[in-house]
Structure 1
């Protein structure tokens, strides 16, 4: 009797909580579609998981007729303290659910090793993400989560995503949610996944509602977490945002970057300043300083022309317009920058001006390789317009530098647990090696760099050995120079032959050879 009185008093003080629980029960009992609950470790998703857990605990056991999957996204570059907290919570939720007989399962979803942050940056040479080229969200978060959802759809026909999204989180997010809402219906359409629907039980919660519920001593975490510790993570932060579990490409932009969030990736280069790592360091986690320094360096080198090829991945050349202006009786080149970054201003005399029609002969005469770590400060004149060669992937030398520095940070990191903490997985390093070999790294540099930095070898695949030794490579380079043959093209053609070797039907080999021979930079 006393418990019921106390419960009624609590509910009267916080009617939104009781309404949300009641709605969760009604939607759960409505059909047999399983639920997939997104959990990021932040405040909003914690509220949703806790409300779902409490609502299911209130139902009679015979009515717990379908599974609830609590999934968390591990991008493999999560902030170390946060992923540790998420792992602990998932274990506690699972243990408590089993003890109470609730149909809750916890899972972590991860990108495939050939799609991770480091596989793309170091392996393929992708420039680090920014606001205009935020390739990371799809590969690291959306695709792994959607793969999990698709597997459940294929098994059960339809699923319901339960997400901690709120209308007042941002104007953009609120408008996006409204656009997906069907009038009179609680569930929203999922715009990119057929047979998947979205349920947002805390949609009308305010920030104050969130913390009132989490910090209410009468509503502790049912699995034993201390929500005051979660609140501490948000203290002294200029942002109360969390990094949501993004499962819809159409709302990726409204989800925004997680670089200003305590619950994003430690490698986030989308924002100018990483407030998350700075905040942790300022609050005593000084061991994370090497991560911040590495992240800042990675952001700085992104637009350094010496670190980037001057053509895109498949050899395509493009040009970017710049302005030449007279300032205080001197001519300057004004190089525009994307997003909110300041324009770069350099004296015109620092550049070598080349007519566009004479570019090919100039490059050949001066033996300039557009894939190398050099820029030559070329300014291309096309009539009255001035241009620069556009930038492509990180050069191979840049990727070697990034890999070496990352391994050095990993080797020297003083993680408080005292255990060896992996910033990059062994499986990712092996994928990077494969990408480099496919990209004509005949010297097989990955095992060499790993051994030099870490002091031991991984269990490398025998079949991935390079085709030529150093002496043979040297002979090939001399022969290419003598015969005026592009060494990169020769390497690519040899790699294509290796790739198709042994196949009775070599479908696609002609197209691959044709693409190699038609690369833009060969025919300027």
Structure 2
């Protein structure tokens, strides 16, 4: 009886594999549209890549008529051991494909330095991602992959994307696949990219089918699939897919608990991935975990955040109130595992200001809403409810603090195989410096900070130097204060003019000046 069950399982697996390979061959031969295969380094995408590789090997050479691009996403903050493994695998795939004459090319897609994790956080001051503000996936994963696909669409007219998505991953994923499928058609229309289609050759595979295949079929390019199995076995984490579609972003979930995600992920409360690596002997990664935990901890620290948005917009966060022993208390929520704060509403605990008097209070007390610290202002709104000033980007001082800690971590990190491993790229540092100069860092602090930590200099472009030296900046600041003119506004206007200097036609400069002059915080 037991023998029959095992026999049936093997037959089922053989049928499933034969169907998948047959479908892959048919799909490859039926038209000239090139393929883009998403590879994340995880189990599902590995199955797809192996099946495609083996299926193409079985075709006649004369039928290998179109390109297959295997792409991986490098967010520049990938878990170090995983990106190292992905780099090795991509090289092996490319080498073996060239050796046996398969039309396969491997590529890594990366975010632009201006859209990278550090470009956004340290450069622009974005708060680190959380469940409500998960800005990272679009900028660091979806957009770079989509840019690659769009380039191929512009060259070939249409492309087909092969993804390792399976219906049994979750009910949400099954519904997404079903909603994009057309009865009798193997291709699904991409929801956001015109002229791009999605082919999911293992959508009927179960988790057991995936591991059954990987552990019983050798990697055609020489990887050891048992190592991949061990990686999953040692962790409760899952796979971080190559996300190429905004409609499946939510079903893909956060990769913060995944061995295949970013080491900086702050979307989850606890980073099980880094913890798992450390518990399994990778002690050298502990400084990364400590940095990640600190970055998550400071996210909602009011003393480290500006009190208006990047565009200068002021907004209020309503404060809940509760009555205890006849006294009204403000309930200040805390994010993550921290306890909420419940304080009596009194002059002792808050600077209580009526909404209509907020502008007067800020000017009278010389409150700089972009500076570090928190004046602990509790606003009585016109409707009688209580509120706090909403939080905007990290202050410039906090951005400098983050960069200093990051560089110190990079300097002291003992990577076992790559002594030159960088946590932040030179291109990102140059972009960050540009952002800082545009936002009024006229002291040009980044090269100095870098030298203090790293004991060396990069080849900085000193054409980007500020227009004024330290003494001139001080004089200008005093002049603005004497004439009750916002110094940050003056710096912004000078930066706008500097950006447009040298252009004969300064198209757009008046729009930029208008945005600067109409920022909310200037007109409270």
Please state if 1:106 is matched with 2:106: yes
Unpaired runs of 5+ in structure 2?
1-7
Superposition pairs of residues 466-481 of structure 1, within 5 angstroms: 466-481=466-481
Does the Cα contact within 8 Å between 1:132 and 1:338 map onto a contact in 2?
A: no
Residue matched to 1:299: 296
SS of the residue 1:14 aligns to: helix
CA distance in 1, matches of 2:191, 2:241: 17
Match of 2:222 among 221, 224, 228: 224
Between 447-456 and 322-331, the greater mean CA deviation after superposition: 322-331
1:13 deviates by 4.7
Distance across 2 between alignment mates of 1:301 and 1:333: 22
Supply the distance in 2 between the matched residues of 1:276 and 1:330 (Cα, whole angstroms).
45
Question: In structure 2, how many angstroms separate the alpha carbons of the residues matched to 1:82 and 1:185?
Answer: 35
Q: CA deviation at 1:366?
A: 0.8
Q: Is the 8 A contact 2:21 2:52 kept in 1?
A: yes
Match 2:323 to one of 302, 310, 326: 326
**1:364 maps to which residue?**
363
Which residue number in structure 1 is paired with residue 308 of structure 2? Answer: 311
Aligned 1:314-393 pairs, distance under 5 A: 314-328=311-325, 330-336=327-333, 343-349=340-346, 350-382=349-381, 383-393=383-393
| Structural mapping, 1:142-153, within 5 Å | 142-153=142-153
**d(CA) in 2 for partners of 1:328, 1:236:** 52
More moved, 509-518 vs 437-446: 509-518
Q: Tell me the equivalent position of 1:194.
A: 194
1:219-256 Cα offsets, whole Å, 9 max, x none, are: 110111000111111123223x2111111112111111
Residue aligning to 1:234: 232
Change (3 A) 1:297 1:346: farther
- What does residue 273 of structure 1 align with? 270
CA gap of 1:13–1:111, structure 2 versus 1, over 3 A, is: closer
For residues 24-35 of structure 1, what are the structure 2 equivalents within 5 Å? Answer: 24-35=24-35
- Report the 3-state secondary structure (helix = DSSP H, G, I; strand = E; otherwise coil) of the residue aligned with 1:134: coil
Q: CA RMSD in A?
A: 1.7
1:125 equivalenced with 2:125 (yes/no): yes
1:328–1:227: structure 2 CA closer, same or farther, 3 Å change rule?
farther
1:3 maps to none
For 1:496, the equivalent position in structure 2 comes to 496
Q: Tell me the CA shift for residue 334 of structure 1.
A: 1.3
**How far apart in 1 are the matches of 2:418 and 2:16?**
44
Give the distance between the partners of 2:320 and 2:113, measured in 1 at CA.
42
Instruction: For 1:184 and 1:340, locate their aligned partners in 2 and report how far apart those are by CA, in whole Å.
Output: 49
Q: 2: CA distance between counterparts of 1:126 and 1:142?
A: 18
1:446 Cα deviation from its structure 2 partner: 0.6
By how many angstroms is 1:132 displaced? 1.2
* C-alpha separation in 2, matches of 1:16 and 1:343: 53
Aligned-pair distance for 1:504?
1.9
Q: Give the SS at the match of 2:374.
A: coil
- Write the distance in 1 (CA, Å) between the matches of 2:11 and 2:98: 27
d(CA) in 1 for partners of 2:345, 2:69: 60
Q: Name the SS of the counterpart of 2:184 in structure 1.
A: coil
1:512 paired with 2:496, answer no
Distance 1:228 1:28 in 2: 29
Q: Structure 2 CA distance, aligned partners of 1:43 and 1:438?
A: 44
SS in structure 2 of the partner of residue 436 of structure 1:
helix
Match in the other structure for 1:289 = 286
Cα distance, 1:314 vs structure 2: 1.3
Distance in 1 separating the partners of 2:202 and 2:324: 56
Displacement of 1:175 in angstroms is 0.8
Q: Structure 1: which 5+ residue stretches go unaligned?
A: 1-7
**Separation in 2, partners of 1:464, 1:339:** 40
Distance 1:10 1:517 in 2: 71
Alignment of structure 1 residues 61-210 onto 2, 5 Å: 61-210=61-210
1:220 and 1:369 mapped to 2: Cα distance? 63
- Within 5 A, what are the aligned runs for 1:356-505? 356-382=355-381, 383-505=383-505
**TM-score (ref. length: structure 2):** 0.95
Question: 2:147 & 2:400 partners in 1: Cα distance?
Answer: 32
> In the alignment, is the contact (CA less than 8 A) between 1:215 and 1:228 conserved in 2?
yes
Q: CA deviation at 1:511?
A: 2.0
Confirm or deny: 8 A CA contact 2:269 2:336 kept in the other structure: no
Measure, in 1, the Cα distance between the counterparts of 2:13 and 2:183: 29
Aligned residues of 2:73 and 2:141 also touching (Cα < 8 A): yes
Could you tell which deviates more after superposition, 37-46 or 504-513?
Answer: 504-513
Deviations 1:81-110 (A, max 9, x none): 000000000000111111111111111111
Q: CA deviation at 1:346?
A: 3.7
